[in-house]
A and B are shown apart, each in its own frame.
Chain A
């Protein structure tokens, strides 16, 4: 038996067989010529055969896919055998270049052409590059890049997963995700939690495990073990029972002493809202409105937006739905709003700031939200992402008032907003902490960089202090007004979905927690076992820890229920 210790990011205990994610295809050397006795005719024939194979493979995958994925796979399959692409490569082979290098260059020029067309076509450039890598893999006789195809479910092991990989991940085929890199906020972690798959990140050494090896994965403790023993087999069976008990949340979250902590859901559209309502969510704490805007070259009309928002509002009659206005930029570029050539997109025109460069889009969105709110029974709150100053908060509140929206709020993601929470909260009615971005900005560590994963951890005491300061700012703001009721401060980042961290957040004074609907029950179950005073003492323990790992370990040691349940 060999053990690998990583960081558990999505609970669950399973035993399964390993499949390694193939390595990305490296670029064939710039001056790679036809090898030895290979003639140009041989190379062209090999290229055509590889192109046909890739075409057939993608086409058969398209047949088993559905919806948008099927359309994309069908189009990608045609690209693999595209006469324009192949002719371009044949021309290059005829100058004495290897087939691998030729298809690489031909693919690059087609991708560049699509990229220059902008918008939707520019996004398809990625598909051409994917096809090119598959053809090169076939020519080299190595595994195609991307998630391996398999008839039986497996434990997927990778260095790290990119958004493009996770988009093609079939939750019916993947039992668990294990990566040697990444951190608690990496894409792997986020996708695993939303799919309810056990996941372990930062488990060094796992990429050397052979395909087919049997492993035990514990997505809570972070253990990955080969040749599972009897105790681990039992743990898997116990988890299966816990998982079914934890699959339903009764829609009523309170601490052991009866302190109410409404649990809300993060959703990105009507379908997810319906799922969340069925899972018992007490409202929506974060409606990501990007879903109406992504994959579009122009702004959606007000009518289109109204219809989309209504679909979400109607899933929660009489409940709170917090709408986040458009959060474009950085990792979510939009051709009509953001400039992808910014040197520092995370510090650039993103979130609320797009109102500076493209005024009007936000006002029209608020108008659409107000129209949808007027014809639905949901209690609609609206918040702006990336607010950094009280002036911005005041301006946003003014736009909301002009649209007839009565509950404006701000997201606290930029450390300046946490530090000035008292003044920022004055013109608005609530704040919601976006812990993913707050962590990235507090630690100055890009969320998407694997090597910085340890910094990018919401357990960092510095991040917890900013959460604490935001709550304290709200209390101080209420005192200034002579009001007992402080404006609510919620959390809608990944942090809220971690049951141990949820306890700390409640102890810090956070009033609501919003998360992927899969995590509602686990968080409610753990919160029900502690009193508010106990949560407060666990919060102090985390705040005074010297580092993120220690903060997490100290709190988990005081919450034995986590180990009992396998959370």
Chain B
């Protein structure tokens, strides 16, 4: 199991637009990736490819989330997904 922390960069938090970009990217990866707030237990982690899960997470700007995945390619996948979270998609 690989774990990777990421800080939410979008100034309005993980709302519809950044969540859509992230969910689409997570869905395009073959392995299952989960996401949880750093303050939540690992068993509460949610499906990272679900935009509704991401929105219900309610992660605000500057909050730390944990991405988790298993299997070959997991580490690289998490790195690319973390990069999306750490980009400010609300910046004009």
Contacts and interface: CB of A to CB of B under 8 A. Distances in A.
A339 B46 CA distance: 32
Interface string A74-116: 1100110011110000000000000000000000001001100
A117 interface: yes
Interface stretch (A120-128, A159-167, A218-226, A548-556): A120-128
A120 B15 CA distance: 8
Contacts of A113: 56
A23 to B, nearest CB: 27
Contacts of A110: 52
A72 interface: yes
A563 interface: no
Given A78-B24, A79-B52, A84-B53, A71 B47 contact: no
Of residues A82, A85, A113, which shows the largest number of chain B Cβ atoms within 10 Å of its Cβ? A82
B65 interface: no
A110 B52 CA distance: 8
Contacts of B46: 84
| Chain A interface main SS type | helix
Contacts of A114: 52, 55-56
A72 B51 CA distance: 12
Contact of A71 (B20, B49, B51, B56): B20
A456 B52 CA distance: 40
Contacts of A124: 15-16, 55
A124 B16 CA distance: 8
B23 interface: yes
A121 B51 contact: no
B49 to A, nearest CB: 6
B40 to A, nearest CB: 15
Interface string A427-465: 000000000000000000000000000000000000000
A75 B51 CA distance: 8
Contacts of A78: 20, 23-24, 51
On chain B, which size bracket covers the interface? 10 to 19
Contacts of B17: 71, 74-75
A45 to B, nearest CB: 20
Interface in A469-499: none
Counting contact residues on chain A (CB < 8 A from B), the size range is 10 to 19
B2 to A, nearest CB: 21
Nearest to B21: A74
A85 B23 CA distance: 14
Determine the main DSSP class of B at the interface with A.
helix
Given A71-B16, A78-B23, A121 B55 contact: yes
Nearest to B48: A83
B87 to A, nearest CB: 15
A124 to B, nearest CB: 6
A121 B12 CA distance: 11
Given A75-B17, A75-B19, A75-B20, A82 B12 contact: no
Interface in B38-83: 46-47, 49-53, 55-56, 58
Nearest to A88: B52
B52 A82 contact: yes
Nearest to B57: A117
Nearest to A70: B17
Contacts of B49: 83
A85 B58 CA distance: 17
A124 B47 CA distance: 19
A84 B47 CA distance: 8
Contacts of A85: 50, 52
A82 B50 contact: yes
A74 B55 CA distance: 14
Contacts of B47: 83-84
Given A83-B49, A84-B47, A75 B56 contact: no
A102 to B, nearest CB: 16
B13 to A, nearest CB: 8
B20 A128 contact: no
Contacts of A75: 16-17, 19-20, 51
A79 B51 contact: yes
Interface of B: 12, 15-17, 19-20, 23-24, 46-47, 49-53, 55-56, 58
11 contacts: A75-B19, A82-B23, A83-B49, A83-B50, A84-B52, A114-B52, A114-B56, A120-B16, A121-B15, A121-B55, A124-B15
Q: Which 10 A-B pairs have the closest CB atoms?
A: A75-B16, A84-B50, A75-B20, A78-B51, A83-B50, A84-B52, A71-B17, A82-B52, A84-B53, A82-B50
